[in-house]
Chains A and B, each alone.
Chain A
């Protein structure tokens, strides 16, 4: 079935406001939920947070008070959507539990996008990034067992393997080497624009989450690990946001945002296993359709262009949460030793990279290495989930 959001109408904007009773959603059960339901929730929270922040930036750059009011109206509804989506997460989960779910999102969302991405340069950017999130999952999983005596597989449920990726200590690059080249807005596949926006939003929300929750831990190793990985999330936001063509006008960007929200709510509605959560995806899709039409009107008025000219003729194939184990193992086998140089990728540790490494590590083991040492002291082993056999890279097999 094809679905063209431009041809569908949703719930009129003036009927989208929800009362406290409607906002008060039942959270998912952390011990019995579908792990990918939790991944979809975390993804959509990141998308709504980006929608809100983008709209604020746009409003701050808008002179016309009537347009500001219009943006405020839609933004308030988006803020309600964010509340409903993120409040599906249960209060009984610890920060670390949610963190592991965030990393599962980063791994399986980025891997899926990389597999589907038509542009080879963009695909390389996702392939490069996913091996880092993959390693973060492994480090946090070891911390989780130390602090809560729980195994990450109780969260990721064998859908995602937990083992070393590109070692976290090598993720600290000179900031200028994190800036990529953008796609060309008029030549790129419309799907590529959606991919870039989705991954940028997810990484941005992960950055926000770690920068704010990291210091709530009292254990020194936990505080330090959040600080280290939090800084890498800053690098990832820089990496992914620079893929977006800065030549897109504000209105064109607004349309892309709203279109992407329609695309993702539609995708998640199609695959959701939890009926209560599915109903929320469906409701939000019906809200987003009107947000999209409002954005299209603004683009027509301010840019004098037809939004259909920058969008896909129909919704792309649904974005899917599913295991990506084989694909990730292939990347582990071939791209572990990559780093960036300028907007490209190299296998050798170049001068700028080495200088950054020297300065940030200061001759000591970083928290991401120390967490493994402390875990080993406590349990005499590592924590891994290798459902498909030993690590593809012999150097990364457990000693």
Chain B
């Protein structure tokens, strides 16, 4: 792999005035983190996995708060599309919670991670094809930008850069468990959407 670093969605210099473009980049960021977890070991893997868990938690929570409610009402058939996506997200979160309690050196870790990866990837593409397409079609630039702003606010909740082990453990402690992170993400997003 090359030394080039791809910044996370929101950290590049894109205008970020389109929620769909932003989320598609975030799907790539998640995929990149799966690559990183797979390619590393020991402390490095632990650190990469922590970042993956946080990004996934924040990303899915933000989608549930921002995009799915909009899609549910935004286009015909939206209700069913969102229902399917939520079922996928629920399944992914359960696998994620199980993995979160496991040590990354556990022999069971990698097979479970690969299953999660396949599920997350299928879920992301389904969103892009069955939900995002409709959102772009049925949404004006103001709403696309407003939703992008809310997603960006949520993104600030997830640490995205690798950091040395000790500091990472301390930071993780400070951020608390995944469930708490999801709650804080919800609050942040709601504030950004003006529903605080």
Given that A153-B1, A218-B136 are known contacts, is A92 also in contact with B122, CB under 8 Å in the complex? yes
Q: Collect the chain B residues with CB atoms within 8 Å of residue A151's CB.
A: 1-2, 4, 6, 32
Rounded to whole Å, the gap between the CB of A46 and the closest CB of chain B is 24
Whether a CB of chain B sits under 8 angstroms from the CB of A379 is yes
Is B24 in contact with A148, judged by CB distance below 8 angstroms? yes
The CA of A396 and the CA of B9, in the complex, are separated in Å by 29
Given that A149-B28, A385-B2 are known contacts, is A219 also in contact with B14, CB under 8 Å in the complex? no
The CA of A215 and the CA of B80, in the complex, are separated in Å by 27
Whether a CB of chain A sits under 8 angstroms from the CB of B168 is no
Whether a CB of chain A sits under 8 angstroms from the CB of B94 is no
Whether a CB of chain B sits under 8 angstroms from the CB of A344 is no
Binary CB contact string for chain B from 5 to 44 against chain A (1 if under 8 A, 0 otherwise): 0111100111000000100111111011011000000000
A residues 209-240 touching B (CB-CB < 8 Å): 218-219
Is B2 in contact with A150, judged by CB distance below 8 angstroms? no
Is A91 in contact with B125, judged by CB distance below 8 angstroms? yes
A residues 141-166 touching B (CB-CB < 8 Å): 145-151, 153-154, 158
B residues 85-141 touching A (CB-CB < 8 Å): 117-118, 121-122, 125, 128, 136
Q: Collect the chain A residues with CB atoms within 8 Å of residue B27's CB.
A: 148-149
Whether a CB of chain B sits under 8 angstroms from the CB of A300 is no
Given that A92-B121, A218-B136 are known contacts, is A377 also in contact with B2, CB under 8 Å in the complex? no
Q: Collect the chain A residues with CB atoms within 8 Å of residue B34's CB.
A: 31
Is B7 in contact with A148, judged by CB distance below 8 angstroms? no
Q: Collect the chain B residues with CB atoms within 8 Å of residue A379's CB.
A: 6-7, 12-13
Whether a CB of chain B sits under 8 angstroms from the CB of A383 is yes
Option from B32, B118, B121, B128 in Cβ contact (under 8 Å) with A149: B32
Binary CB contact string for chain A from 29 to 70 against chain B (1 if under 8 A, 0 otherwise): 101000000000000000000000000000000000000000
Which chain A residue shows the least CB distance to B137? A218
Rounded to whole Å, the gap between the CB of B144 and the closest CB of chain A is 12
Is B13 in contact with A219, judged by CB distance below 8 angstroms? no
Q: Collect the chain B residues with CB atoms within 8 Å of residue A91's CB.
A: 125
Rounded to whole Å, the gap between the CB of B175 and the closest CB of chain A is 23
Is B125 in contact with A149, judged by CB distance below 8 angstroms? no
Rounded to whole Å, the gap between the CB of B18 and the closest CB of chain A is 9
Given that A31-B35, A92-B125 are known contacts, is A149 also in contact with B29, CB under 8 Å in the complex? yes
Whether a CB of chain B sits under 8 angstroms from the CB of A359 is no
Option from A146, A154, A378 in Cβ contact (under 8 Å) with B35: A154
Is A31 in contact with B25, judged by CB distance below 8 angstroms? no
Option from A92, A158, A377 in Cβ contact (under 8 Å) with B13: A377
Whether a CB of chain B sits under 8 angstroms from the CB of A363 is no
The CA of A381 and the CA of B3, in the complex, are separated in Å by 12
Q: Collect the chain A residues with CB atoms within 8 Å of residue B31's CB.
A: 31, 150, 154
Which chain B residue shows the least CB distance to A380? B13
Nearest 4 Cβ contacts at the A-B interface: A149-B28, A148-B28, A149-B25, A150-B28
A and B contact pairs by CB, cutoff 8 A, 24 listed: A31-B34, A31-B35, A31-B121, A92-B122, A146-B14, A147-B25, A148-B28, A149-B6, A149-B12, A149-B24, A149-B25, A149-B26, A149-B29, A149-B32, A150-B6, A151-B1, A153-B1, A153-B2, A154-B32, A378-B14, A379-B7, A379-B12, A379-B13, A384-B2
List A residues at the B interface (Cβ < 8 Å).
Answer: 29, 31, 91-92, 94, 145-151, 153-154, 158, 218-219, 377-381, 383-385
